[in-house]
Amino acid sequence: MNNLQKNRLFDTYFKYFGIACTFFGLVVLAIFLVNIVIEGAHRIDWDFLMNLPSRRPQKAGILTAWTGTAWILGLTAIISIPIGVAAGVYLEEYGKKSQLATIIEINIANLAGVPSIIYGLLGLEIFVRVLNFGGSLMAGAFTLALLILPIIIVATREALKAVPSTLRQASFGMGATKWQTIWYQVLPASSGGILTGIILALSRAVGETAPLIVIGALAYVPFVAKSPLDEFTVLPMQIFNWASRPQHGFVVNAAAAIIILLLITFIMNGIAVYLRNKWQKKVNW
Amino acid sequence: MKKTSEKVIEGGLAFSALITILTTIGILWVLLSESIGFFQEVSIIDFLTDTQWTPLFVQKHYGILPLLSGTFLTTAIAVAVALPIGLTIAIYLSEYAPKSLRKKVKPALEILAAVPTVVYGFFALTVVTPFLQTFIPGLGSFNAISAGIVMGIMIIPLISSLSEDALFAIPKSLREASYGMGATRFQTAFKVAVPSASSGIVVSVILAIARAIGETMIVSIAAGQQPILTMDPRDAVETITAYIVQVSLGDVQHGSIEYKTIFAAGITLFIFTFILNNISYWIKKKYQEKYE
């Protein structure tokens, strides 16, 4: 075999190796999903969704967990969306050349790389102790809001960047002020991109466990939270708790709860992808 | 009138942006103030050289090395899994695959990154560990290798996506020159494309390492809670993050030395990820405009 043939052979081998690698992760994910469904799907019924946690796996349900997740989702959204979008608008539209903006930009890049458990330590000191929220929904939501702020800010900036400057100039030309231009022209034009980023960030918050463990979210909460200052648990906490128990009944429960959690995350991601595609098709500057 | 309201709005927006700075200051303040309290009771030399970490036992030792070795071991396994696979995917998608496939596969791989980590932990404990036990005799139900492999699967999209972006950004002329010389795609990929995109690839790997070091739930569920100084992937190990979780789940009094240990562990973790993130940021800034 001469060199040329050898090189061509390598080329072909690598191609198939590449295909194999590309599908490796997806195949593993598929195996896992099938496994989870076989293990847990039969456990999901109305009682499982509506029962309080229990020491007996057959009677235990995820009512407190999914209501807690819904609370956390709502509160985190209320806190993080206005701050994140406002910060993104400031950095992209106002502070582009200032030194402060450069420092903030480097800072955000750094914050995005800080492990989530460190945010848990921050929340434990600031929200749980100094502001005295205790291990409540408020403390959890504020902690997660800080965690996802960098994602929302970066997404907002990307969306604003995609708006052409002619749109701004046309608005200025009509006598609009800077804020009027942003509020009536730029933000509506970029809303699709911003919304996509927000949904992705919130889906990240829904799946987070580590920071909530650190701020003291409980694994066993026998009541449904009624106010933001109540103690709480969330689906990932419940899964973590069940997964670390030896009885097989709880492993089944964990698998069933994972199906619910994955449904929520995949639906949120699906909406985000749908919005992104729709927005990209519609806007053609 | 209009001017004042414009100014007020701008002030409000600037304040929102400043919250990110306050977050950083908050993190530094919290980590430093609590760990200073810790280091008043434990000497920093003990902390860095003692080979035992037993703050929750009667016989207390505060050596961070076992936690560091656990973190390092699981991270090394994860990178050993994710780097070859992730890089091959990146090369395949940018140099071989038709554009339509690339467009479909990239978002599909992102699903791997969207799965909550607690779910990966469950996967490691209930699927991967039993599978490994069939051909690694004596493997316990908690071990570094299973957690590391699953963590590797999780960070594949991080490496493949960022590396692919870097490869995609190389000007076409470089590849065409290589093809013109009669090189195959394989030769072009490894002798032209990968070296040209090396800075972007290095950045992706560094970010993946930082991500693996800070990963919590997979190691908490599947790697165990035994801080022992070992490099054997079959052993149960405890990472820095898993230790913080372990203490947080228990009932630890504020102000006690046990409470302070999680901040000392936290600042160690923070320093590592901070350095890695800054190296990657610096590389990105330095080599960004090479081809423009």
DSSP per position, A229-265: TSB---HHHHHHHHHTSSSHHHHHHHHHHHHHHHHHH
Round to the nearest angstrom and report the end-to-end CA distance of chain B.
46
Interface test with A, best of B19, B20, B276, B282 (most A CBs within 10 A): B20
Q: Indicate the CATH number of B65-287 among 3.30.360.10, 1.10.3720.10, 1.10.357.10, 3.40.50.720.
A: 1.10.3720.10
User: According to the per-residue pLDDT averaged within each range, which of A33-42, A47-56, A72-81, B184-193 is highest?
Assistant: A72-81
Round to the nearest angstrom and report the end-to-end CA distance of chain A.
55
Residues of B in contact with A262 (CB under 8 A): 115-116, 119
Note the pLDDT of residue B54.
80
Chain A touched by B30 (CB under 8 Å): yes
Are B189 and A14 a contacting pair at CB < 8 A?
A: yes
Q: Containing H/E element for A160?
A: helix A137-161
Chain A touched by B264 (CB under 8 Å): no
Look at residue B270 and tell me whether its pLDDT is greater than 90: yes
Are B118 and A243 a contacting pair at CB < 8 A?
A: yes
Length of chain B: 292
Q: Which two tokens stand for residue A233?
A: 């648990």
Are B244 and A107 a contacting pair at CB < 8 A?
A: no
Of A98, A211, A228, which Cα lies nearest the Cα of B13?
A: A98
Q: Which two tokens stand for residue B253?
A: 């009094």
| Residue A96 burial (10 A CB sphere; 0-12, 13-18, 19+) | exposed
Question: Residues 71-100, chain A: which have Cβ within 8 Å of B?
Answer: 82-84, 86-87, 89-91, 94-95, 100
Domain ranges of chain B: 2-41, 65-287
Q: What are the start-end ranges of the E strands in chain B?
A: none
Are B262 and A178 a contacting pair at CB < 8 A?
A: no
Note the pLDDT of residue A100.
81
Note the pLDDT of residue A281.
65
Note the pLDDT of residue B117.
92
Residues of A in contact with B13 (CB under 8 A): 86-87, 89-90, 94
Interface test with B, best of A85, A118, A183 (most B CBs within 10 A): A118
Q: Which two tokens stand for residue A220?
A: 């066993």
More confident residue, B232 or B207: B207
Note the pLDDT of residue B291.
56
Mean pLDDT of B214-243: 86
Residues of A in contact with B114 (CB under 8 A): 203, 207, 265-266, 269
Give residue-wise pLDDT tens across range B109-155.
888 888 999 999 999 998 899 898 888 887 888 889 999 999 999 99
CA–CA distance, B213 with A252 (Å, rounded to integer): 30
Q: How many CA atoms lie within 13 A of A128 on its CB side?
A: 23
CATH of domain A48-282: 1.10.3720.10
Residue B53, strand partner residues: B62
Mean pLDDT of A178-199: 89
Phi-psi region of B50 (alpha: psi -120 to 50; beta: other; left: phi over 0): beta
- For residue A223, the distance in angstroms to the closest alpha carbon of chain B comes to 20
CB pairs under 8 A between A and B: 246
CA–CA distance, A238 with B9 (Å, rounded to integer): 42
More confident residue, A183 or B231: A183
CA–CA distance, A59 with A53 (Å, rounded to integer): 8
Residue A162 dihedral angles phi and psi, to the nearest 5°: -75, -15
Note the pLDDT of residue B2.
64
Note the pLDDT of residue A284.
55
- Give residue B290's pLDDT band: very low, low, confident or very high (50, 70, 90): low
Q: For B26, which residue in chain A has the nearest alpha carbon? A: A122
Look at residue B43 and tell me whether its pLDDT is greater than 70: yes
Q: For A100, which residue in chain B has the nearest alpha carbon? A: B18
Residues 6+ apart with CB under 8 A from B129: B139, B141, B142, B143, B146, B222
| Residue A51 burial (10 A CB sphere; 0-12, 13-18, 19+) | middle
Share of chain A above pLDDT 70, in %: 97
Residue A65 dihedral angles phi and psi, to the nearest 5°: -70, -50
Chain B touched by A248 (CB under 8 Å): no
Q: Kindly report the CA angle at A57 between A54 and A58, in degrees rounded to 5?
A: 105
Q: Which long-range contacts (CB under 8 A, 24 or more apart) does A2-9 make?
A: A7/B184, A7/B186, A7/B187, A8/B184
More confident residue, A101 or B85: B85
Q: For B266, which residue in chain A has the nearest alpha carbon? A: A118
Q: For A90, which residue in chain B has the nearest alpha carbon? A: B13
Are A117 and B88 a contacting pair at CB < 8 A?
A: no
Residues 6+ apart with CB under 8 A from B166: B90, B197, B199, B200, B201, B203, B204
- Which position has the token pair 């293990």? A39
Residues of B in contact with A32 (CB under 8 A): 123, 127
Are B270 and A236 a contacting pair at CB < 8 A?
A: no
- For residue B167, the distance in angstroms to the closest alpha carbon of chain A comes to 15
CA–CA distance, B236 with B228 (Å, rounded to integer): 8
- Give residue A112's pLDDT band: very low, low, confident or very high (50, 70, 90): confident
User: According to the per-residue pLDDT averaged within each range, which of A100-104, A205-209, B63-67 is highest?
Assistant: A205-209
Are B118 and A106 a contacting pair at CB < 8 A?
A: no
User: According to the per-residue pLDDT averaged within each range, which of A23-32, A93-102, A113-122, B137-146 is highest?
Assistant: A113-122
Look at residue B251 and tell me whether its pLDDT is greater than 80: no
Look at residue A103 and tell me whether its pLDDT is greater than 70: yes
Of B139, B76, B73, B116, which Cα lies nearest the Cα of B218?
A: B116
CA–CA distance, B47 with B67 (Å, rounded to integer): 11
Mean pLDDT of A48-55: 77
Q: Containing H/E element for A116?
A: helix A116-123
CA–CA distance, B156 with A123 (Å, rounded to integer): 30
Displacement of CA A15 from its chain's centroid (Å): 35
Are B14 and A95 a contacting pair at CB < 8 A?
A: yes
Look at residue A285 and tell me whether its pLDDT is greater than 60: no
Tally DSSP H helices, then E strands, for chain B: 14, 0
Interface test with B, best of A12, A98, A114, A182 (most B CBs within 10 A): A114
Instruction: For residue A29, give the nearest of B111, B126, B249 by CB distance.
Output: B111
